[in-house]
Amino acid sequence: MDLINTLESQNEKRPLKRAMSGFEVEMHILKSNGSMSYKGFDLVQKVKKKYPEVDVVKECGKNMLELGCYPDINSYNPALEIINSIEKVIEVAKENKLIIFPFSTYPGLIKTKLTPDTSGKYELQKKIFGKEKFSLATKVVGFHHHYAFPKGVFDYNKKELKLLLDSKLKRSLINSYNLEIAIDPILSLLTQSSPFFEGEILAKNSRILVYRGGKKLKYPGLYDKLQTLGALPPYKQTATDLISSLKLREKKWAELVKKVDSKIDFRKIYPYNLDISWNPVKINKHGTLEQRGLDINYMSTILGVSALIKFTLKKIQRDFIEVIPSDKGITNSFKIKEGIMFIPPQTYIRKKLQKASAYEGFANKELYEYTKRFYRLAKSLCPEVYKPLLKKVESMIKKKRSLSDEMLTLARRKKWVNKKGKIPPIHTKKFARYYSEKFEKDLIETKQIVEEIITTHKNIKQTTNDN
């Protein structure tokens, strides 16, 4: 999605280590009674007409839409922009007797109705993945966090990475990339909002299973047989390794396209190499490191987690911290000493903690301790002015309760879910309406926090200038 259509020009002008971040949020669209709606594409058009400034775009399913915001150095600017955009979508939705459900899986059944698409992307993906597999893409939504590359490592004309030799900036990119992979199970734990899928309890984070799939997760998800394109990638040791993996992915895609229809010129549909990737950690064609592995959640949680990501990456890039996979990283992860941070081996992350995050959540002791270590580091790097955004996340860690845990507890207490773990349609509607209303309340409260941060930051700036 082209949310960062101004990043190229901004990035070329920025100093060596300015930290820019931006967001994308996806959401389901429901009827006012809580049942699934398929008017997402129509709602996008109506929002664009009333509020042309809102960066709202269609998604593959008619039950979905996506919002983006412009990247900025000050995290509160994209935060306020995305909140304002969501408020406008809610307003237009209500005018059309619709509500939004910004959580990663709808608890009930979803029919697959593809959005009209003149580019041919959706039809091509349906041919490659198969109709049934591709239908899974219309049943899950998420949150994407973007963080700008170090200056000089990306070619904005060709929209590809530069192969720099003996460059600290090149190492900084690899260190950032590997860190994002290492914290993926933590981020998916803190944002999980998808305990139900297709009318029954599936996992604490059902979206991970449904979207990524594969042997490591023991689930036949969308990318089950095409892990190169959609699974959590392995660490990379060098920029050469990273660029080689991107070319390998492009080659695999070309083979798949040729297999389903040799007459298709996929370059007309996907003009850039970096278009061909749906992995949880992605090198984006706009010059950002994109973390795609998070559930969509309350904005208080999303912005809190975003602050943890941003200020950790900022530390790595600004101080050229070397992020080293090691056995030491299993029990001594995220401590920075003499310019080095240890992270666990990739097998530990991809085979063990990723699966634990999906199925067990906070109940897994190793994942819980791992999450606490990362949080301690990230909180220490977060400026005081932003720490009010961390309260929801900190409370979650202390209580060992994610939103998925809360959702399951409520559904069982209200007897919306039966002993077999199924949730009947009459109760999916109640569940959806309840959490849609809670999201709106949280949105208002979070906006107040962001506005207070902006005021505090401006006051600090003014005081500094006066002195």
Whether the pLDDT of residue 7 is over 50: the answer is: no
pTM summary value: 0.94
Give residue 165's pLDDT band: very low, low, confident or very high (50, 70, 90). low
pLDDT of 8 above 80 = no
**What pLDDT score was predicted for residue 9?**
40
Q: What is the pLDDT of residues 413-430, one digit of tens each?
A: 999 999 999 999 999 999
Residue, of 279 and 10, whose pLDDT is higher: 279
pLDDT band of 15, cuts 50, 70, 90: very low
**Reported confidence tier of residue 461, pLDDT bands at 50, 70, 90:** confident
Least Cα distance to 100 among 448, 435, 404 occurs for 435
Count CA within 13 A, CB hemisphere, residue 284. Answer: 26
| Rounded Cα distance, 45 and 62, in Å | 12
pLDDT at 247: 93
Domains, the chain, ranges and CATH?
Answer: 7-265+279-466 (3.30.590.20)
Average pLDDT, the chain: 93
- Average pLDDT of the segment spanning 25-35: 98
Query: For residues 172 and 341, what is the distance between their CA atoms, to the nearest angstrom?
Result: 12
Tokens of 220: 């036949």
